[in-house]
Homo-oligomer: A and B are copies of this chain.
């Protein structure tokens, strides 16, 4: 049985606790607020809770806080003998203090309140300094997910960059679509089946094969018409740049 304590009260922490509560072979000892000053003491010599038989230490501390808080939060627990990991895609493992056993446990997903996630399908990217710790992380990851990859920090930063395209920028495309609808009192919900199917297509086609639209076809008439419909600089700039890039890729220039 792997025992973990999770530091942080955000969405990653919430979903981890949920997933662990349903998993076998792992349990959560504590969820610790990252603002606590006494993490160090908590980690090394916690006060026994009333009626507890003995003091329990976690095998792994999972730091699930915002990227820029990882360094300072992790310094609070540096005297521990437990493995200390963070859950960030973009922060190198070596951001964690020198004098702890360290690693990374990065679930490649977007976590939000109210989401029902199938954790077993979420790729978990792990990294550690030595084999034993890597095996411990692999065991933990396999308790939660069927998809576990060993990914070193540098490679993970590329993965995080690709997630920015696939998640952050994709969401921004949804936003431009919503703004276009709103201008004409069209409900954004009309686009939901299209948004779903655009994502579903990736199960069976590569993005290169799945590309459609006026820019792909080199359909200048439609692109010009679209340009006339847009009335913000922002929409026009994004439309122009992405259409040009798509046209360059497919070699169907005017």
B177 near A166: Cβ-Cβ < 8 Å: yes
B225 near A157: Cβ-Cβ < 8 Å: yes
Partner among B112, B207, B225, B248 whose Cβ is within 8 Å of the Cβ of A205: B112
Distance, CA A146 to CA B215, complexed state (A):
31
Name the interface size band of chain A. 35 or more
Partner among B171, B186, B221 whose Cβ is within 8 Å of the Cβ of A207: B171
Verify if A27 is at the interface (C-beta below 8 Å from B): no
Interface of A: prevailing SS: helix
* Known pairs A122-B193, A174-B202 / 19 extra A-B pairs, C-beta < 8 Å: A112-B205, A115-B204, A158-B181, A158-B229, A159-B186, A160-B226, A161-B230, A162-B181, A164-B239, A168-B216, A170-B174, A171-B207, A174-B207, A175-B207, A175-B249, A178-B207, A195-B199, A196-B200, A241-B241
Binding site for B on A (CB under 8 A): 67-68, 90, 108-110, 112, 114-115, 117, 121-123, 147, 149, 151, 155, 157-178, 180-181, 183-184, 186, 188, 190-208, 210-216, 219, 221-222, 225-226, 229-230, 234, 237-239, 241-242, 245-246, 248-249
